[in-house]
Amino acid sequence: MASSNSAPPPTNPPGKADAPARKASGSSRFFLLAGLSVLGLAVTGVLLVVFGLAMAYPNLPELDTLTDYRPKMPLRIFSADNVLIGEFGEERRNLVRIKDIPDVMKKAVLAIEDDRFYEHGGVDYTGILRAGLHNAIGSGGKQGASTITQQVARNFFLSSEQTIKRKVYEMLLAWKIEKNLTKDQILEVYMNQIYLGQRAYGFSSAAQIYFGKNLRDITVAEAAMLAGLPKAPSAYNPVVNPKRARTRQQYILQRMHELGYITDKQYETAKNEELKVKTDSSEFGVHAEYVAELARQLVYEQFKEDTYTRGLNVFTTITKADQDAAYLALRKGVMDYERRHAYRGPEAYIDIPANKEEADDAIETVLAEHPDNDDLIAAVVLSATPQLITAVTASGEEIRISGAGLEQGRSWLSDKNPPNKRIRRGAVIRVMQEGKDWLVAQMPEIESAFVAASTSDGAIKAMVGGFDYNRNKFNHVTQAWRQPGSSFKPFIYSASLERGLSPATIINDAPISFDAGQTGGQAWEPKNYDGKYDGPMTMRKGLTKSKNMISIRILHRIGAKYGQEYATRFGFDADKNPPYLTLALGAGNVTPLQMAGAYAVFANGGYKVSPYLISKVTDADGKILSQAHPDLAGDEKNRVIDERNAFLMDSMLKDVVRYGTAAKANVLGRRDIAGKTGTTNDSIDAWFAGYQAKLVGIAWIGYDQPKNLGNRETGGGLALPIWISYMQKALKSIPVEERAVPDGVVLVGDEYYYAENPPGTGVNNLDAPGHGTPAEEKAKDAVKNELF
C-alpha cells in the first residue's frame, strides 16, 4: 500500500528537460515579432499608398470636358429637304442624348464591355478577380477588366501606355468621374466619344456610316455588330474584315442572350440576320458635291477653324429632286455629245496572264486604278471582234457588247489597226448600260455646268459645277468666266427699249464693218452664224432668229458705253464686259451664276435678286447662328428695270422658244417658258439661258481649255437639251402662268409698245436717214423699196 507521504513526480533536471519549452516560447515570440513587422510594413505600405492616393487625387485633372461635354462635331451640309449632302471634319459624329439611344444599343455595349456597369463604383473588383482567375488558368484569350468609366477616363485624360502608374491614375479618375456624373451621363459620353472606325466617333455616326441608318432604327443584329467595334475598330470593321466582324457579333449576341437582354426568339432572328453593310462610307443620298464644297467655303469665311469642330449644320436652298434632275440632265447632255464625236481609244492596256488566278489579280489591280464613274463603268476586254466584245467589270460580271452597242468604238475594232490603236484583249474601256444592253462609251473631256434658281428670291434650287467632282473640282457655275455669246443679246435689246426702240423697230440684217477704233482692237467685219443675211426685219424677229447684224446695229445706235453700263444693272461686271461693239455678240465674260441672276430680272418683272445657296446655319443643338435675308422680287428698292421693259423682253424671249433657235423647248408643251440660246465665235462655248416665271435655269458646255466644239455644235443643240431635261421634272407640278400686261404697255395690232412710244413715234426704223454708219447709209437705198 502506498504511503500517503510519497514524493511528487520527479521534475526534469534544469537545462535538459525544460529546454524544449523555452525553445517553443522563443519561436512564438520570433513569429509574433516577424508578423508584427510584416503587418507594420503592410500598414505602412497601405498608409503610403493611401497617402500617395490622397496626394494624387487632388491633382487629378478637372472634369470640365465631361461635365460640360462638347465633342468635336463635323460640319454637315443638308439640302432644303434635310438630305445630308456633305460632311467635313476629321471626326464624323452625331451627338445623341442617352434618352434617344435605343435600349438594344445600350444592352449590346454593356453585354460586351461592362455588364456590371450600373452596380460598381467605377472600378469593378469582381470583374478584376474574374479576369485574373481566367488569365491565370489560361483558357481562351486574355480578358480585361476595365469598366466603361475607366475607358472614359483613359480616352479623355490618359495615354494608352500599359504601366502601373497609368492604371492607378485610371482607377482614381474613374472614382472621381463616378462622384461627379451619373451613370447615364457616363454612358452617354462613352457612346458619343468612342472611336468606331471609318472616321466614325460614337454609335449614332457609326450606324449611319456602316448601315446608312439612324441609330433609332437599327436591329439587334446591327447593334451587336456595332458593339464589337470599340475593342479594335480596324480588326472588327465589317467593311474591312467582314468575317472577323461577324464572329465577334455572334459572340456579343450570345452574351446578350446569356444575360437575359434579348429573348430566345430575338437571339435566333439576330443570329441569322444577313446584314447589309455600306461599302462606300462617303456615299450621300444625292450628287451635290459642288454644292457641299461651295457651302463649306462660305461657312469657313464666317466661322474659320470652328467650322470643322463645332457641329455646325448648314441648310442649303437646293432640293433633292431638283439636284437629281440637274445632275442626270447634265450627264446625259455631255454623254450625248461624246457619242457624236470620235472615240479616243482605251484608257490602258494590260497583258492578261493565262493562269486564271493571276489573270483575276491583274484585272482587279488595273480596274482599281480606273474606278467606275457613276454609270460609266470600267471594264477589261477579254475578247474583241468587229461583231462582239466580251469584257469583265470590277464586280466580276462578264458582259457582252454587240450591234449598236459597238458604234462608239467600231473604228477601233478592225484587225488592221496597230495594237495601240485597237480595242483588243487586255484593253481597259468604259461601258454603259441602257436597259439590258451594254454599249462602248468613253470618259468625256468636255465640261459642263447647270444652275437653277428661284426668280422670286434667288434661292438656288440645283447646282452642278461639272461632269464629275472627283475628276475636276473646279466649279464651272461660279468660277468659269466664259463668253456668253448670243445669250447676252437680250441685255442689249433691253437697253435699246430705254432709248426709244421697240420690238417693232425695223433693222437691216445686212453685212457691216467697223474700223479698229470702234472695236477696241482691229478692224472688224462680223458675220451671222449661218452666213446668211435676210435684210430688214423687226427687232423682235432679229432676236428670234439670233441675227448678229441686228444686235450689232442696236448697240451701235445706243452706244457701247451705255450698253456696258446698262448691263451692270443685271449683275455683270463692267471690267469683264468692255464697252466695244463686240459686246453685242457677248464677247465679254460672265459666269453661269451671274446669268441666272440676270435672266431672273426678265422673269420676275424687273427685280434684281442675288442667287444664294445657304438658308441658315445652326449649331449642334439647333440654335440658329445665321440666316439668309435675300433680296425679294416685288420690293421696289430691288427694281433695276421698268416692269414694262421686262414684259416686252419676256414677250420677245418667248418667241425665241416658240419660233426661233430654242424651238426644241416646245416639247415641254408650255406657253410660259422663255429664253435664249448662245453660241460663241468658233463654237467654243454653248449656252442656253431660260426661265419660267418662278424658275430660271442656265446650261453651259465647253472645254476648260477653250477649243472648237464642232462646226455644227450650237447652244440649241448642246445646252438646250440639258435645260429641257431638267425643266421636264422641275416644272412638272408648277402650273402654266400667264403674264399680265402691265400698265403703260399698249397692244397695237400684234405688237406691244410703251404707251408713250406708240407706232409712228420713237425709233420706228433704225435705218432711217442719219441714223446709221456710213456703210449702213449706203445700203439703205438698196433696201428702201423692200422696207416701204
What's the residue count for the chain? 788
**Rounded Cα gap, residues 503 and 660, in angstroms:** 15
CB 492 within 8 A of CB 499: no
User: Which segments of 482-547 does DSSP mark as H helices, in order?
Assistant: 489-497, 516-519, 539-544
**Rounded Cα gap, residues 436 and 405, in angstroms:** 11
3-state secondary structure of 697: strand
- Burial of residue 227 (CB within 10 Å: 0-12, 13-18, 19+) is buried
DSSP 272-301: H------S-TT--SS--HHHHHHHHHHHHH
Residue 496 identity (one-letter amino acid):
S
Catalogue the E-assigned strands of 7-101. Answer: 75-78, 84-88, 92-93
**Rounded Cα gap, residues 30 and 48, in angstroms:** 26
CB 744 within 8 A of CB 647: no
3-state secondary structure of 152: helix
Which residue is listed with cell 432676236? 543
For 631, the grid coordinates are 433680296
The DSSP letter of residue 683 is G
CB 413 within 8 A of CB 423: yes
Residue 115 has φ and ψ, to the nearest 5°, of: -75, -15
User: Per the residue annotation, which of 204, 454, 456, 486 is the catalytic one?
Assistant: 486
CB 597 within 8 A of CB 609: yes
- Asked about 28 being catalytic, the answer comes back as no
User: Per the residue annotation, which of 113, 222, 289, 713 is the catalytic one?
Assistant: 113
A 10 A CB-CB count for 433 gives: 13
- Asked about 402 being catalytic, the answer comes back as no
**Rounded Cα gap, residues 599 and 182, in angstroms:** 60
- 418 strand-pairing partners: none
**Rounded Cα gap, residues 66 and 12, in angstroms:** 78
Active-site residue list: 113, 486
